[in-house]
């Protein structure tokens, strides 16, 4: 008898033991199947159709393959046998069961097999050394069977997850195209297992923040990575609680949330999120503030309009504020602040003084300087509007 190893304990079994045990297989298969039905809840239904064929074939292959091992150095499973058990693992995913159900069936079958094989060997007067080797061999063998099924289970899960992700990406792309009809979008969403909300928001995230955001948002959101950013679509918050939940999921992610749109107009939400990112985030890194909450585009529409065409604003500033250019930096800063406050408060000295924290007489002195510099322009509504436009834009960008 050869010396066995922990990986191949069947080397310690006499080859003739297989001839002894083989006649027990037909009744052993039936006993194993009956035990599985009695002890494993997931398998209590009648073993009919493809399900029954798979269970019976798996049991028969397991026993037949095992009896080819005693006295040899063969691996526990041939490529064909491994494929059978991987397929059983895959089938558990398709049937909606956990891997534990299949492993419990293997354990039940192992107990029956050990009892029957040991009993037959004892009746043939084999000693304790052979009985021990039978036990070790059956256990080592079933470990290999379980591992093969676990691989099949994991592979099927991975394949299904990949298919679901592909279908979810298809839904997102359909929505972002903005041209698909409702039936096509609803069918795609149903196939992806995603509930299409009537109103959505497009969310833009830096690429590096996407994994954590996906985890926080879960399967309720769709996402796709682009070259430098990630686009996420989520149901528009309908309540203050839902808004806070979305903010909590995106906090610290430098997220920009586009305005609410019906699902058919979601490209508008993304376009404004992209514009807001370019105007308010890329140009002004402090746009998120200290609390790092996401930036809601709908709360910054005026800032986006002002910053959308910076070259035009520069030209308008040159045209309307040129009178301040000849001043030294200190006086120019004070008069610029006063001019914006004067425009914002319609020339009322009290509110201007309060905002600038200066005396009302100082306000009067500075306004007199402004009138000397700008003359009749301060009485022209269109000019005043354009001045305020430029000054507000500069204030938003943090420039003088």
Residue 195 has a CB neighbour count (10 Å cut-off) of 10
Residue appearing with tokens 């001043």: 327
Question: Do 74 and 135 sit in the same domain of this protein?
Answer: yes
Nearest alpha carbon to residue 91 among 66, 57, 65: 57
Domain final residue, candidates 307, 328, 358: 307
pLDDT for res 278? 85
Tokens of 310: 């910076």
Question: Do 132 and 148 sit in the same domain of this protein?
Answer: yes
CA distance 322 to 317: 7
Question: Do 52 and 149 sit in the same domain of this protein?
Answer: yes
pLDDT for res 164? 76
Question: Do 19 and 148 sit in the same domain of this protein?
Answer: yes
Domain final residue, candidates 104, 136, 160: 160
Domain membership flag for residue 251: yes
Angle at 319 between CA 316 and CA 323, to 5 degrees: 130
Nearest alpha carbon to residue 35 among 89, 138, 92, 106: 106
DSSP letter string over 304-366?
Answer: HHHHTTHHHHHHHHHHHSGGGTTS-HHHHHHHHHHHHHHHHTTT-HHHHHHHHTS-HHHHHHH
Domain extent at residue 226: 197-307
Question: Do 127 and 141 sit in the same domain of this protein?
Answer: yes
Question: Do 13 and 105 sit in the same domain of this protein?
Answer: yes
Domain membership flag for residue 1: no
Question: Do 341 and 358 sit in the same domain of this protein?
Answer: yes
Question: Do 21 and 145 sit in the same domain of this protein?
Answer: yes
Kindly give the parts of the chain with pLDDT less than 50.
Answer: 1, 290
pLDDT for res 308? 66
pLDDT for res 336? 94
Angle at 234 between CA 232 and CA 236, to 5 degrees: 135
392 Cβ contact list (under 8 Å, min separation 6): 302, 306, 340
pLDDT for res 6? 66
Helix or strand or coil: residue 149? helix
Nearest alpha carbon to residue 198 among 213, 187, 186: 186
Domain membership flag for residue 147: yes
> Residue 355 belongs to a domain with what CATH number?
1.10.10.2840
Question: Do 259 and 362 sit in the same domain of this protein?
Answer: no
What φ, ψ does residue 14 adopt, rounded to 5°? -70, 140
> Residue 235 belongs to a domain with what CATH number?
3.30.70
Question: Do 25 and 144 sit in the same domain of this protein?
Answer: yes
Strands 199-206 and 229-235: antiparallel
Question: Do 267 and 384 sit in the same domain of this protein?
Answer: no
Domain final residue, candidates 307, 332, 357: 307
Q: At what angle do helices 99-123 and 79-94 cross, to 10 degrees?
A: 140
Helix or strand or coil: residue 201? strand
Domain membership flag for residue 250: yes
Q: At what angle do helices 49-66 and 128-177 cross, to 10 degrees?
A: 140
Q: How many domains does the chain have?
A: 3
């Amino acid at each position: 008898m050869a010396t066995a190893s922990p990986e191949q304990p069947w080397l310690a079994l006499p080859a003739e033991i297989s001839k002894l045990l083989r006649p027990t297989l037909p009744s052993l298969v039936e006993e194993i199947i009956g035990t599985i039905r009695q002890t494993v809840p997931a398998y209590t239904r009648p073993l009919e159709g493809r399900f029954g064929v798979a269970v019976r074939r798996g049991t028969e292959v397991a026993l037949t393959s095992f009896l080819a091992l005693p006295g040899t150095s063969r691996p526990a499973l041939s490529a064909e046998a491994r494929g059978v058990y991987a397929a059983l693992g895959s089938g558990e995913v398709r049937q909606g069961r956990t891997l534990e159900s299949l492993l419990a069936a293997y354990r039940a079958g192992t107990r029956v097999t050990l009892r029957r094989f040991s009993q037959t060997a004892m009746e043939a007067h084999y000693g304790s050394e052979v009985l021990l080797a039978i036990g070790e061999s059956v256990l080592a063998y079933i470990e290999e069977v379980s591992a093969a099924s676990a691989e099949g289970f994991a592979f099927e899960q991975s394949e299904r997850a990949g298919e679901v992700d592909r279908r979810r990406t298809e839904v997102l792309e359909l929505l972002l195209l903005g041209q698909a009809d409702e039936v096509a979008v609803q069918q795609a969403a149903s196939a992806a297992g995603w509930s299409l909300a009537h109103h959505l928001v497009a969310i833009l995230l830096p690429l590096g923040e996407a994994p954590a955001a996906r985890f926080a948002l879960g399967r309720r959101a769709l996402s796709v990575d682009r070259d430098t950013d990630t686009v996420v679509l989520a149901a528009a918050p309908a309540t203050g609680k839902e808004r806070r939940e979305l903010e909590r999921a995106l906090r610290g992610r430098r997220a920009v949330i586009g305005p609410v749109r019906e699902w058919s107009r979601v490209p508008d939400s993304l376009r404004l999120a992209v514009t807001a990112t370019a105007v308010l985030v890329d140009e002004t890194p402090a746009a998120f503030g200290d609390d790092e909450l996401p930036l809601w585009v709908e709360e910054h529409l005026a800032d986006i309009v002002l910053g959308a065409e910076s070259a035009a604003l520069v030209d308008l500033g040159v045209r309307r504020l040129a009178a301040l250019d000849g001043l030294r930096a200190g006086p120019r800063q004070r008069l610029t602040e006063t001019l914006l406050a004067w425009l914002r408060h319609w020339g009322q000295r009290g509110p201007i003084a309060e905002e600038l924290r200066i005396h009302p007489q100082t306000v009067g002195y500075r306004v007199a300087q402004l009138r000397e510099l700008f003359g009749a322009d301060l009485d022209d509504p269109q000019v005043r509007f354009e001045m305020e436009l430029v000054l507000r834009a500069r204030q938003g960008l943090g420039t003088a």
